[in-house]
Amino acid sequence: MKGITGKILFVDLTSGKNTTVLLSEEVYAKYLGGLGIASRLLYDYLEPGTDPLSPENPLIIVPGLLVGTGLSTASKTTITFKSPATNAFGRSVVGAYLGVALKKAGFDGMIIKGKSNKPVYLYIEDENVEIRDAADLWGKDAIETQIFLREKLGKDFRTGAIGLAGEKLLLIADIDFEERQSARAGGGAVMGSKLLKAIAIKGTGNVDYADEDLLKVAITNWNKKINGSEPQKLDMAYGSGEFYEWVNKERGVFPVKNWQESIFEESFKKHKNEKSPLDPYYWSPKYTEKLHPCPNCTKPCGRFFVIKDGKYAGTRVEGIEYELLYALGSELGIDNIEVTAKLNEICDRAGVDGISAGVTLGWAMEAFEKGLLTKDDTDGIDLYFGNEEAAIQAMEKLAWKKGKLGELLGDGVKRAAKKLGKGSEKFALEIKGLEPPGYDVRGLKGMALAIAVSVRGACHLTGGIYAPELIGSFWKLANVDRLSAKWKGYEVKTGEDFMSVYDMLGMCKFSRSLFWIEGMLDGLKAVTGIDYDVNQLMAIGERIYNLDRLINIREGLTRNDDSLPYRVTHEPIKNGVSKGNYVTEEELQDMLDEYYLVRGWSKNGIPTRMCLFKLGLENEIDSGSSI
């Protein structure tokens, strides 16, 4: 198959040796690249029951199949591992220039196992691979580390690194790739457990594609679809939080104060004659320094946010993304965008997942207001919702695991609630150990199912179901009723298979409405020489998703893990246009039954033998499948 080398770099940090693993065309035909190959490698190289922080947990990095081709928005690289946060399938996707460099160095991906006996970084220049001493990097923050490395090695090296959170093995630590974060599921802790501080790659080679002329035509056509489009205009002007006000006022599903409210009413009342300070229509024109695109993106939503004067002068952060307007804003009862930016900067530099950190801190604020945490527990911090200085102090303790509060919060809300007890579990927001994104699923019942069954825990991107639920339609889906629990199984399955296609190709999900799957077929044919159709690609997406499910089953997860937080199933939304809605336990169980049926899984959520045979996964039938 064209567009691939079949070469996977295997690095053993224990022995200090590296080798090349060759994958067959048959494997690529079944999984293509990105998430597909990364999932296949994780299934093959992860021994069941492996401790996520042991040397044997593989850290796998695979660029999407279309990454580096010049096709616009084909920018994403997938990282897989056993998650320290969930003790199950871990996946994170990032717009990393390092992924492009890896392909240009001659590799379709890499597997890192073992543990060094001292801090090191991985140096790759084409096929020259070295494990180098990182004593001068250890202790630096994630961004500072990469600036130092690129000044030392040259600007043509592309990098990724962990910060202090990864070094201290916080289970919600992330990996930073030149101020783009591979944030979710704890990959930074896996990297830190190996004493691997950073990766630096320079690739100077070229990848051979099936039809270079057709690829040039496809690049031109894709750019024509994007240039001048409404999604491009909105992304470049306001970023991913453009619909902040609409989600609040028109749908009433923007979580506030640890999901006690679902519209930031307090902020809108305070600023009734102007935009809320969290709204990008307010802050983007005022604070944007310049745009920050992912590789080959012609509709960049990323930007550098800079505060030039006042209390937080000097704060500079990439973002601020929609999810962090929630997790580091409304979730904490804060509507000061400069404080949210400061919190964002703390997370990025420490190398900690901003969603997980924010939701965990929101839980702590509610526990403090309920009297379950005292000032002795919080190191003297008055941890009330809306207390801006307290939020900054607490986030520093969390991100650096300092003091009593840092020890309590540093590994995420599930473990914090278990330590505290006192009924705090009932307002701890997590699924499978992963904190939820910024959509109150009590008013989006299809998305409630999606985050319940998501293979990596509470995740909005595994199925992307917020889109059809909020809008009412998506690709082939129409007449979606967000407040009904009926007919959600097919909706969620479709979204999961669709998004798996995007992740295996390395496509940005913010471009989906411009391309869907049909619009990418010309580029895929130019790269591979194969005339795929939509059904073939959706079948590959389904295969990948089932393989990820099998990893979780192998690690002991059951139907009981496809759950929702207590607050979602027992406490109706209190305010806004979705007031009164919630997902009953009966509704959840009915949706699970329908979803499993549509997937071809058993009542217990295990893919059946017939399902696995249909998907070409017959070698994996020892997973407990029957029928």
pLDDT tens-digit map of 155-191 = 999 999 999 999 999 999 999 999 999 999 999 999 9
Each residue's pLDDT tens digit, 458-471: 999 999 999 999 99
Query: Which of 499, 492, 495, 478 has its CA nearest to residue 595?
Result: 492
State the pLDDT at residue 43.
98
Query: Is the pLDDT reported for residue 274 higher than 70?
Result: yes
Confidence of residue 623 (pLDDT cuts 50, 70, 90): low
**Distance from C-alpha of 64 to C-alpha of 72, rounded to nearest angstrom:** 13
State the pLDDT at residue 535.
98
**Which residues, 6 or more positions from 185, have their beta carbon under 8 angstroms from its beta carbon?**
81, 83, 84, 85, 86, 90, 91, 92, 353, 434, 456, 457
Confidence of residue 491 (pLDDT cuts 50, 70, 90): very high
Query: Which of 423, 266, 429 has its CA nearest to residue 361?
Result: 429
Percentage, residues of the chain above pLDDT 90 = 97
> Within a 13 Å sphere around the CA of 353, how many CA atoms are in the beta-carbon half?
33
Say if CB 89 and CB 548 are below 8 A apart: yes
Mean pLDDT of the chain: 97
Percentage, residues of the chain above pLDDT 70 = 100
The amino acid occupying position 518 is E
Each residue's pLDDT tens digit, 277-292: 999 999 999 999 999 9
State the pLDDT at residue 315.
98
Confidence of residue 622 (pLDDT cuts 50, 70, 90): confident
- Residue range 253-276: average pLDDT? 96
Query: Is the pLDDT reported for residue 627 higher than 90?
Result: no
**Distance from C-alpha of 351 to C-alpha of 445, rounded to nearest angstrom:** 32
